[in-house]
């Protein structure tokens, strides 16, 4: 069974404060620019920083998985179970985003649970 809050581990090197900040922003983009911000960060920084690339990939994959889950919940609104599922999905997505941002600021690599890995 997957850990409900995801997993984290130390990278092979100590990331700089700038790397931590950009990685943190890739997670927090969930609130403003999901999909776009982590994808742009990944494309721009993938060859410069493995730390940023790992966080941007995870954030993008999580945003895609969240969008798919949102669509499923939206369809289930007609069966009356979609509304509570949307509330739970929103709260869980927010909590995981905050955990990812905290792990990035601590200099740890974070992997979201229940994520579809479109970018590996």
The band of 98, judged by pLDDT with boundaries at 50, 70 and 90, is very high
Distance of alpha carbon 114 from alpha carbon 87, whole angstroms: 17
For residue 111, what pLDDT is reported? 94
Q: What percent of the chain has pLDDT over 70?
A: 98
pTM for this prediction: 0.91
Q: Domain segments of the chain: what residues?
A: 7-111
Question: Distances in Å between the alpha carbon of 16 and those of 11, 20, 36?
Answer: 12, 6, 24
What does the pLDDT look like over 58-97, one tens digit per residue? 999 999 999 999 999 999 988 888 899 999 999 999 999 9
Distance of alpha carbon 65 from alpha carbon 74, whole angstroms: 14
Distance of alpha carbon 61 from alpha carbon 17, whole angstroms: 24
Distance of alpha carbon 45 from alpha carbon 86, whole angstroms: 33
The more confidently predicted of residues 94 and 1 is 94
């Amino acid at each position: 069974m997957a850990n409900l809050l995801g997993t984290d581990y130390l990278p092979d090197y100590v990331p700089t404060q700038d790397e931590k900040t950009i990685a943190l922003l890739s997670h927090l983009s969930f609130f403003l620019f999901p999909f776009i911000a982590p994808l742009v960060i990944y494309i721009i920084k993938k060859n410069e920083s493995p730390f940023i690339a790992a966080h941007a990939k995870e954030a993008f994959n999580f945003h895609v998985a969240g969008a798919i889950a949102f669509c499923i919940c939206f369809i289930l609104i007609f069966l009356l179970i979609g509304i509570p599922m949307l509330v739970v999905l929103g709260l869980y997505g927010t909590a995981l985003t905050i955990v990812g941002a905290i792990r990035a600021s601590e200099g740890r690599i974070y992997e979201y649970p229940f994520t579809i890995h479109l970018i590996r």
